[in-house]
Structure 1
Amino acid sequence: MKAYQLSADYLQQKIGDRKPEVAIILGSGLGSLAEVIQDPIYIPYGEIPGFPKSSVHGHKGRLVIGRLGNKEVACMQGRFHVYEGIAPETLQIPIRTLKLIGCDTLLLTNAAGSLNEDMGPGSLMLIEDHINFSGVNPLVGENDDSIGPRFQDMTRAYDPELSDGINEVAKGLNINLFKGVYVWALGPSFETPAEIRMFRTLGADAVGMSTVPETIVARHCGMKVAAISSITNLGAGMSGNSLSHEETLDEGQKAAAELSKLVIAWLES
């Protein structure tokens, strides 16, 4: 039996007849959204067969099943990264597991650096497209044809209908929601000023170390994807400041309240 099937079977036993429709993955400093989930069931990643362990400070490392904004959700309070030493193909397991327990929509959030001087720390950016600059892909290896095709189309990686819905909700809440292209850099070192200049030339608006592999796996198994970046800093060389994970966590927590308000209102809509 595949690892993600074992994971899904285990979760199904834990959650019984609850059927989450929307999966949410929370990035650095954004875990507080999971704290307002109603009637929660908490399942640490370490208990789920096949799941890696999250080793990054600021990622709580548990799955929360419950109700949020009148929807049944499965919320990953912390994610996994290739820079932690996790094999790219292992990132298939949590996404396919969420699909098997009923989720057909995936909302991704992350903390990101801005490549746009007008989009400063505390801003939110709706991801419209991405650039994979990591050099790896989670679909490398033997393909499971029962899950998806060998060569996955990524023309509409981020579902236009979902994105339009989030944008409309943001307008109604008077939230200034930027839109742009996210570039995935492998990490864990932050980018150099030269790399930031290159990413800007390529047409990217924000940079981070996650999200893209989850999007690829989700699209491969037929899930619709939307994604929002919480901007925590300007890219290296744009402000003259040194970058740190502590800044990422601090600024992410500041943006968490507005992001939570947006996500809950979107789920209600």
Structure 2
Amino acid sequence: MSAIPLAVPHQTHDAPGTVLSSGDFPVALRWRGLEPYSHSFDAMRAFTDARTPETQDEIWLVEHPPVFTLGLAGDPAHLLLTESGIPLVKVDRGGQITYHGPGQIVAYLLIDLRRRKLMVRELVRRIEEAVIETLATYNLATDRKAGAPGIYVARHPQDVNDRMQAHEGAKIAALGLKIRNGCSYHGVSLNVRMDLQPFLAINPCGYAGLETVDMATLGVAADWRDVALVLAERLAHQIGGLPAIAAATTGSTE
């Protein structure tokens, strides 16, 4: 799936860019490492504002120090504990409140939707599918919920994983996008191995009582960088694939 051989960097902030195959328009993969949220936020907006029709799409892989982010139309009341010591940043993506912290992969998608002839709803579907495929690689069954973007723990009828059963319906990945001039930024976060306590200080994505889990809670001991690489490859593949209607018509699978 890659234009050049992929290697998982030991020091992500020093890693060279990699080009991923993504249909007619390749995607540059950027390993940004541990980075303050404000740095990523400012950089995403600057990148999008400076884009031209020839600018290559990019996926950024980032890990953030603890931070709550609140979407453009988000309700501050969903922050239940104001004295947590974790900063709250108001941002311009869709959605309500979420938490980012060490041990979570954040993949920012800087994609020209017009060039790829993608509608926003279709892009969201593809991002969710990429996460589902990534987690399936680690034998974790997950699915969508109607009207609630993100990925949730599912229980297969033959599932013998007690941890999966105990956390059925819990959220393991969240997403939110901003579209400006036909191009996206922000993206998706996937919980690998992190301190989940801060999620108790919010109504995750605006849903009171919604449980949030990570891969470690479900019994998967996986390295952040390994999972990030799988996720980036699946995102690039999905973004470059056929539209859902075309795939169904031709019998193609993504």
Q: Larger relative contact order (C-alpha < 8 A, sep ≥ 6)?
A: 1
- TM, length-normalised to structure 1: 0.35
Give the structure with the higher percent helix. 1
